[in-house]
A and B are shown apart, each in its own frame.
Chain A
Amino acid sequence: MKPIRLSVNGRDIEAEVEPRQHLADFVREELLLTGTHLGCEHGVCGACTVLIDGAPARACIAFPVALDGAVITTVEGLVDDPVTERLRKAFMVEHGLQCGFCTPGMLIMARDIVLRRPGADDAAIRHELAGNLCRCTGYIGIIRAIRAVAAERCAAGEAPVVTRGGAVVPPLHVSPLTLPVAPARLSAVGDERLGRGEDVSAASAVFVPEKLRNPVELVQEFEVPAPRAQVWALFQDPAQVIGCLPGARLTAPSDGRTVNAEMLVKLGPIQAAFGGTGVIAADPANWTGTIDGGGVDRRSATRVQARLVYGLDELPGAAATRVRVEVAYVLQGPLAQMSRGALARDLAARLTAAFATHLAALLRGEAAAAQPAPLDAGSLLLSLVKDWVRRLFRRA
């Protein structure tokens, strides 16, 4: 594994990559930017075309390990680009797509053509577009769409633009589609824009054994009917905290500083048993603490790294406490590939919610003895369906 730094769609990314991993796999599987499609995987079909330093390139034969410091723009990153916006409309009007498989590559290439060659005629467009294959449209609609936009730019007196080495303005909106993995985690500028700067600085002030790269982040807040000191005491007992996590248990007695635990997670046909170690750090003065951990599922060789930050706020009357839990995690390996997108986030969200419920129950002295059952995909799907039905009725 080699460390690299990249800018992807306006965000700075740090990652460790296998030299053999190509850029398309990297953006799709590590960053969950699945707008970049993979067809032939050897540089012929053009479906995986992205912008590297402003210029179109095949993502399937570019290796992130060799792109340290490069600026990458995928089709998601062009969501607010005015030229691409115009092209999207033209593709719709002229029926420039059917199944959509080639469309991300077509849009990236089309943008480059109209920028470099405003006023390009059909022959020039066909020549420039020869490296992007479409199996549905017969190209007629695509070429018409590009010609329309190229002609517009020519009529507007736009000069040809050298895209090679040129800057691409990152998306204006904080749309989940334009951001890799964790919409909540933005660059410093983005954090100010969303008023999240404080959270990040508070989190980064705490001891970090190993930095999480581009994690999925969740925040859960809940109230428990117990004084803050009692809740705090419970959080200092690793056995009880771990006991509140569905499917989790200590594998060795904790010394209060480190924990050895394992956790069962079921996801469809996959059953993962993560075994790992964690480090606990508490800051009693501020009523906050951190648990950092990492583990491996031996069967699938999926690695997980996680960080849990908790903070306790006294509620008026001192009889109840508001608990704020921030969870950040990174999954790497087969499981991460299988559970991309909303499903993985929902699983983590459900784990956190279950943790909150068990914790509250424990503090009320209710379910202290019962070990919570591991979550599985069945109950997860059920909850998704329930949520969906609920939303449906709310809308009606």
Chain B
Amino acid sequence: MKAARFDYLRPDDLAGATVALAEGRARPMAGGQSLGPMLNLRLARPGRVVDVSHLPELRRVEARPDGILYGAALTHAEFEDGAVPDPTPGFLARVAHGIAYRAVRNRGTIGGSLAHADPAADWPTALAALGARVHLAGPAETRELAVDEFILGAFETALAPGEIITGVFVPRRSAQARFGYRKSCRKVGEFAEAMCAVLVDRESDVQRLAIGATEARQLVFPAAHDVLRSPARVDDILRDAGLAADPAAFRLRREVVRQAIAALASESQPEGQPA
């Protein structure tokens, strides 16, 4: 289908973007890989689309002592290709490589993925496990939220009217850090049915676990020491979160979480499918 009529604005700077977005029925667009299909299916019918993909603030990379602040409009392909530096031992490239398809990764952006907040998307779960923080700018003020504070539910975020994501800060991890990432899709590139990301950095005693594709906001465990010690605890976590009602889905999620934890040792690639 074709998109319904909308107006298009491309502000030159961040201030212009926040003003343009403050008007009702306005939606920001960067790569358009999530909004585009929704426009074509007429699921989204914004009166105005505000293109933020060219804003200089959203295209920069700023290395800081404790991590890297990425502009929100950097594409998945730029992470996959290592075109931007990585404060982790290659985790970001691994996650990016498993997102949708290359043709989508060439346009889709890290900030767009977070703003869209699809529960089955890769970045919200992976970045929550990596302890990333979302940088926001609005008409009046700028602020910062942890990924798990920013995402409120399925397709729901803490973004206020006129506010946009300017960047994502990913904390630096030691060379000894391990990252286990698994998702289960019916087909490579499809939306995931189960997803889990685990970060362990013994140097700073960080053990974080995030479960995605929950049809709601991600489950995030910032101190997952006991789960990682005794994998039987995975069942309790899923039950407590109400994700055990359907036996088949429960077994799939359990298996994906277990494999993600096991992958900490093997460091295998994120696109692997559960057996």
Contact = CB atoms under 8 A, between A and B. Distances in A.
Contact of A62 (B5, B32, B102, B189): B32
Interface residues of B, number: 36
B102 A162 contact: no
Given A19-B6, A128-B102, A164-B106, A55 B32 contact: no
The bracket for how many chain A residues form the interface is 35 or more
A76 interface: no
Contacts of A43: 33, 36-37, 40, 104
B188 A55 contact: no
Contact of A61 (B5, B37, B78, B102): B37
B1 A130 contact: no
B126 interface: no
A142 interface: no
A58 B8 contact: no
Given A43-B36, A130-B188, A62 B81 contact: no
Contact of B107 (A21, A22, A57, A162): A57
A45 B4 CA distance: 21
Interface in B61-115: 75, 77-78, 81, 83, 100-104, 106-107
A310 interface: no
B39 A20 contact: yes
Contacts, number: 100
A112 B101 contact: no
B8 A65 contact: yes
Contacts of A132: 101
Which of B101, B103, B189 has the largest count of A CB atoms less than 10 A from its CB?
B103
A41 interface: yes
A152 B86 CA distance: 33
A173 interface: no
Nearest to A133: B187
A20 B29 contact: no
Contacts of B75: 164
B121 to A, nearest CB: 14
A56 B103 contact: yes
Interface string A121-148: 0000011101110000000000000000
B78 A164 contact: yes
Interface of A: 2, 18-22, 25, 41-44, 46, 49, 52, 55-58, 60-63, 65-66, 68, 109, 112, 126-128, 130-132, 162, 164
30 contacts: A20-B2, A20-B3, A20-B6, A22-B2, A22-B3, A25-B2, A41-B1, A41-B40, A42-B40, A42-B41, A43-B33, A46-B101, A49-B103, A58-B104, A60-B36, A61-B39, A62-B32, A62-B107, A63-B8, A63-B32, A66-B10, A66-B32, A109-B103, A126-B188, A130-B101, A130-B189, A131-B101, A132-B101, A162-B83, A164-B77
